[in-house]
Chain A
Amino acid sequence: DTAVSQTPKYLVTQMGNDKSIKCEQNLGHDTMYWYKQDSKKFLKIMFSYNNKELIINETVPNRFSPKSPDKAHLNLHINSLELGDSAVYFCASSQEGSNSYNEQFFGPGTRLTVL
C-alpha cells in the first residue's frame, strides 16, 4: 500500500525519443509535484498541480508536459529527450490548504538515463 508510487523505476532510452513517467498517490491529497534531481543531487521543483490544475511551472523546457487525469495521478511526458535530461525524477504529493503545514510525501524516484 505504497503512498506515492512511480513507474518505471529505471528508464534507459536514446536521445530524441519520447517517454512518460507515471505517478499515483493513494493519500487523497489534492496537490502533486514533479521534482528533478541532477547528478549533483540538487533537488529542483518542476511542476505542481492542485486539483488537476497547474499552479507552479518552473522554467522547464516545453518538451516536458505534465498531465493530471485526476487528483490521484500526475504523469510526466518528455518529448525529444536530450542527454541533459538524465536525472532522477521524483513525484510528490501534499494536502494544501489554508494552514501553512504542507508535508510532502515523495515517491521512490525514476532514474532516467538518456544515451
Chain B
Amino acid sequence: DAKTTQPNSMESNEEEPVHLPCNHSTISGTDYIHWYRQLPSQGPEYVIHGLTSNVNNRMASLAIAEDRKSSTLILHRATLRDAAVYYCILDSGGYQKVTFGTGTKLQVIP
C-alpha cells in the first residue's frame, strides 16, 4: 500500500483557518487522496477526496501538489466541533483495501 505521513498533532485557534498536511511520496497514478476524520467516540466520517485538482466542498478544501506527492486539507474556520483525528489515506479504487495511518489529532482552542 502507498503510505501517508502526517503530523501527530496540531493546534488551532477557534475561527482561524487550519492547514493539515499530508505527504504521500509513493502515490501511484490511480490513487485518489481521501480525507476522513474521527470525532471523539465516533466512527470515521468522510471529509473530502481528490485526484489531481484542488477540491472544495461544504466541509473543507483539498489542495493537491502538482506532483501529487503531498496534499493539504484546509478547514477555513475551525470550530470546536472540528476537534478530531484527521486521516489522509490513498485509495486506488476497485476492491483495494484502504489503510488508515495514525492521523493528525487536531485541537481547537477557544
| B positions within 8 Å CB-CB of A | 30, 32, 34, 36, 38, 41-46, 49, 51, 85, 87, 91-95, 97-100, 102-103
Instruction: Give the CA-CA distance A50 to B41 in the complex, in Å.
Output: 27
- Residues on A lying within 8 angstroms of B by beta carbon are 4, 31, 35, 40-45, 48, 50, 55-56, 58, 90, 92, 96, 98-109
Partner of A100, one of B36, B87, B92, B99: B92
In the complex, 13 of the A-B residue pairs with CB atoms within 8 angstroms, ordered by the A residue number, are A41-B103, A43-B44, A43-B87, A44-B99, A45-B97, A48-B97, A56-B97, A98-B94, A100-B30, A100-B92, A102-B91, A108-B43, A109-B43
Question: Distance (Å) between the CB of B44 and the closest chain A CB?
Answer: 5
Considering the complex, give the chain A residue whose CB is closest to the CB of B105: A41
Q: Total contacts A to B, CB within 8 angstroms? A: 63
User: What does DSSP make chain B's interface, helix, strand, loop or mixed?
Assistant: loop
Q: Looking at the complex, which one of B92, B98, B103 makes contact with A104 (CB distance below 8 Å)?
A: B98
Tell me whether A45 and B43 are in contact in the complex, defined as CB-CB below 8 angstroms, given that A99-B93, A102-B91, A102-B93 are known contacts: no
The chain B residue sitting closest to A100, CB to CB, is B93
